[in-house]
Amino acid sequence: MWSPSDTPELAPPATRRPGAAMHQMLRELYPLGRSITGDGVRATLRVLATHLPAGLTAHEVPSGTQVLDWTVPPEWNIRDAYVRDAAGRRVIDFQQHNLHVVGYSTPVAGWFSRAELDEHLHSLPEQPDLIPYRTSYYSPAWGFCLAHHEREQLRDEQYEVCIDATLDPAGSLTYGQLVLPGSSDEEVLISCHICHPSLANDNLSGLVTAVGLANWLAERPRRYTYRFVFLPGTIGSITWLHEHRASAVPRIRHGLVLSLLGGPGHFTYKRSRQGAAAIDRAVALALRDAGTPHELRDFSPYGYDERQYCSPGFNLPVGCFTRTPFGEFPEYHTSADNPAFVRPRQLAQSLRLVKSLCRILEHNRSYQNLSPYGEPQLGRRGLYKNIGGGLEGQQWQLALLWVLNQSDGQHSLVDIAEKANLPFTLIRKAAKALRHAQLLAPA
């Protein structure tokens, strides 16, 4: 079980580095009891609003609403839950850890035999010290999760069970949305799931990375409009798609699902269903240029909310950006996925990567060579001497020549960076220098 003493004391806000500030936000969010509906989601959005630029809005969709092929479920809230032995001692206690209760458990109160109780217990014999994370969203059930070695110590004949929870058919599903307008109404969608309780890497690392990105973007001129959505997994993205299919969905040009960005392991990007969409190529380029170990995977209809955005009726260009993917690290969906598992350095590195990605999206465009008949004389225009930011020699010359040669109105800067095997930032600087010399114009 995680406690504040498991992580180092944080510096004052004025001196805190980005990774440390993100980690503090993660610690603030960690204790909140989230699910796919309920007050835990609302409380999480209230915390996010204090860290985000102005404009985060909470949307409530009534339970029972038909959304695509799904129905918004009753709202679930839990006040308390426990299993007590004959001496009155809480041997399983929701107040000690959110994961102790199966998510969306139906209310229950009464005494059960050890054998009856055992049918409702979940543990991990292969990881006996960890509490698993289990849910029962759409099949009414109740249950408790606990460390396996604690389960083996339950030897009383009778246990008192209480789950003080409500499933309200007059409730609602809540999701949050922040829109940062750009000079164009074409949109970049950034999506994070917000439904996991007390799981730091799976859920919260994506949220705090998105918050860091939103704050960075808010301070800069933007070509694209950026839409951040914070929603419960599966049912939340389905609800959002249902509500925005005629408005925002047609404007989405690029999209990214963020999760699992604070744990160890190299970066992993799962391509969109389209496979070679601009977002897929831009992420690959950002990872290549960063020189950090990474893996690119093809689309699969199993995973996070990218599978909803990439369903064939929408087929949006949305990929999924993580470190070690879900289910591929031993802490996944257990109490070991706590704030001590997530490192500030890893959060900061993830934020740098998504910033680099946005720079590529913002500056990628096609140009027309204004002197296409033969190679223009660059020396007399000072371009070979003006090496820009300390870059010099053959690489700078190559960047200039590649941009001139490929700028026929059909090739973008991403195309050129890929083909030339040169950093996008260098290709962009070359294009800027050539425009200044009146050798290029936007196509």
Across the range 255-268, mean pLDDT stands at: 97
CA distance 142 to 248: 38
Query: Around 260, how many Cα atoms within 13 Å sit in the side-chain half-sphere?
Result: 23
* Beta-strand pair 108-113/121-122: unpaired
- Judge residue 113's burial from the number of C-beta atoms within 10 Å of its C-beta, 0-12 exposed, 13-18 middle, 19 or more buried: exposed
Across the range 231-257, mean pLDDT stands at: 98
Fold of 366-442: Arc Repressor Mutant, subunit A (1.10.10)
Nearest Cα neighbor of 78 from 41, 114, 33, 23 is: 33
Residue 10 pLDDT more than 50? no
Q: Report residue 59 CA to chain centroid gap.
A: 19
- Residue 333 is labelled as binding a ligand: yes
Query: Around 86, how many Cα atoms within 13 Å sit in the side-chain half-sphere?
Result: 7
Contact 124, 132 (CB under 8 A): yes
Q: What Rg, from alpha-carbon coordinates, does the chain have?
A: 25
State the sign of the Cα–Cα–Cα–Cα dihedral 128, 133, 139, 140: positive
Q: Which residue has better confidence, 63 or 11?
A: 63
Across the range 254-262, mean pLDDT stands at: 98
Mean pLDDT of the chain: 94
- Residue 202 is labelled as binding a ligand: yes
What secondary structure letter does DSSP report for 124? -
- Residue 252 to residues 26, 182, 273, 278, 393, Cα–Cα distance (Å): 29, 13, 15, 12, 40
Across the range 75-97, mean pLDDT stands at: 97
Residue 260 pLDDT more than 60? yes
Residue 237 pLDDT more than 90? yes
Q: What is the pLDDT of residue 392?
A: 55
Q: What is the pLDDT of residue 393?
A: 72
Nearest Cα neighbor of 70 from 219, 232, 210, 246 is: 232
Q: Report residue 368 CA to chain centroid gap.
A: 37
Contact 111, 158 (CB under 8 A): yes
Residue-by-residue DSSP string for 39-103: HHHHHHHHHHHHHSPTT-EEEEEETT-EETTEEPPPEEEEEEEEEE-TTS-EEEETTT-GGGB-B
* 111, two tokens: 């005494």
What secondary structure letter does DSSP report for 422? -
Which tens digits make up the pLDDT trace of 146-202? Answer: 999 999 999 999 999 999 999 999 999 999 999 999 999 999 999 999 999 999 999
76-168 is a CATH 3.50.30.90 domain: yes
Tokens 């308390």 belong to which residue? 80
The H or E element that residue 235 is part of is helix 235-244
Which tens digits make up the pLDDT trace of 268-316? Answer: 999 999 999 999 999 999 999 999 999 999 999 999 999 999 999 999 9
- Residue 397 to residues 3, 34, 83, 121, 413, Cα–Cα distance (Å): 55, 54, 72, 67, 16
Q: For the chain, first and last CA: distance in Å?
A: 57
The CATH 3.40.630.10 domain(s) of the chain lie at 4-72+172-362
Fold of 4-72+172-362: Aminopeptidase (3.40.630)
CA distance 407 to 414: 12
Written as one letter, the residue type at 46 is: R
* 291, two tokens: 């020189």
User: Bridge partners of 269?
Assistant: 296, 321
* 27, two tokens: 């610690």
CA dihedral 291, 293, 298, 301 (to 10 degrees): -120
Across the range 96-105, mean pLDDT stands at: 98
Q: What is the pLDDT of residue 384?
A: 78
* Beta-strand pair 172-180/57-62: antiparallel
Rounded percentage of the chain residues whose pLDDT exceeds 70 = 95
The CATH 3.50.30.90 domain(s) of the chain lie at 76-168
Contact 346, 353 (CB under 8 A): no
User: Bridge partners of 319?
Assistant: 256
Per this entry, what is the length of the chain? 443
Q: What is the pLDDT of residue 425?
A: 97
Nearest Cα neighbor of 75 from 232, 219, 206 is: 232
Between 128-142, 318-332, 374-388, the lowest mean confidence (pLDDT) is in: 374-388
Q: What is the pLDDT of residue 385?
A: 59
CA distance 303 to 271: 12
Between 66-70, 113-117, 381-385, the lowest mean confidence (pLDDT) is in: 381-385
Residue 339 pLDDT more than 60? yes
State the sign of the Cα–Cα–Cα–Cα dihedral 397, 401, 407, 413: negative
The CATH 1.10.10.10 domain(s) of the chain lie at 366-442
Which tens digits make up the pLDDT trace of 208-230? Answer: 999 999 999 999 999 999 999 99
